[in-house]
Amino acid sequence: MNYTITIFNTLKTIVSRICSILKINEREHPKGRKPTLTNSEAVSAAILWRKQNIGSKKSLYELLEPPCSYNRFVVHLKRVGVYLARIIALFLQHFSAHAHLVKFTDSTDIPVCLAKNARRHRIMRGLAAWSRTGKGSFYGLKLHLSGGADGRVLALRLTPGNSDDRGVFRRMNEKLRGLFIADAGYL
C-alpha cells in the first residue's frame, strides 16, 4: 500500500507540472463551493486507478484516503476527462514533432453495446453509429491511430463507426511527414 501512495505522489508532481504548462487552474469550480481535490490530484488518481489495475473506485478511495467523501471523490474522477484529453494532446504534439520517418496507421472498431441493445443505448447515442467490417456489423465507434516505427503514438481519433477511413486519415495526419504504411482501406 505504501508503494501505491509513493507512485501517487510522483504522479501528482508530474501532473501538476503539466497542468502548470497547460495553464490549467488547480481548483476550477463553475459554481458552488471549491473542490476539495485539485485537478492534478484527480487526474493523478484516475491515472493510478487504471495503471495499477485497482478493481473499483471504492478500492481506490480506500487506498488514497482523500480529504472528501466517497461521493465527491467519484464526482472528481468523472470530471477529469477534459484535463486528460488536454494532457494527451500535449504529448501527441511533442511526439509528432520528433517523429520517426516511417509511420503506421490503422483503425479498429469499438462496439459500445450488443447489437440487440443498440436501439436503447443512450450513453454514446450522439457519437456511435452502425457500421460493417470484415468481422460483421457493429454499433459503436472507430479508433484511428497513427504511430511511428519507434512505437510512439503520433495521432489518434475516435469517430462514429460509419466514418470514412480515408477522410479521417487525411485530417489526422495532415501535419505529419514521412512514409506512411496503412492497409488497403486507406486507398
Q: What value does the mean pLDDT take over residues 166-175?
A: 87
Please classify residue 44 by burial: count the beta carbons closer than 10 Å to its beta carbon, then call 0-12 exposed, 13-18 middle and 19+ buried: buried
* Predicted TM-score (pTM) above 0.95: no
pLDDT for residue 30: 62
pLDDT for residue 12: 87
Please classify residue 142 by burial: count the beta carbons closer than 10 Å to its beta carbon, then call 0-12 exposed, 13-18 middle and 19+ buried: buried
Encode pLDDT of 22-81 as tens digits: 787 766 666 667 777 888 888 889 888 888 888 888 988 998 888 888 998 888 888 888
Q: Are 113 and 183 in contact (CB under 8 A)?
A: no
Residue 181, classed as helix, strand or coil, is strand
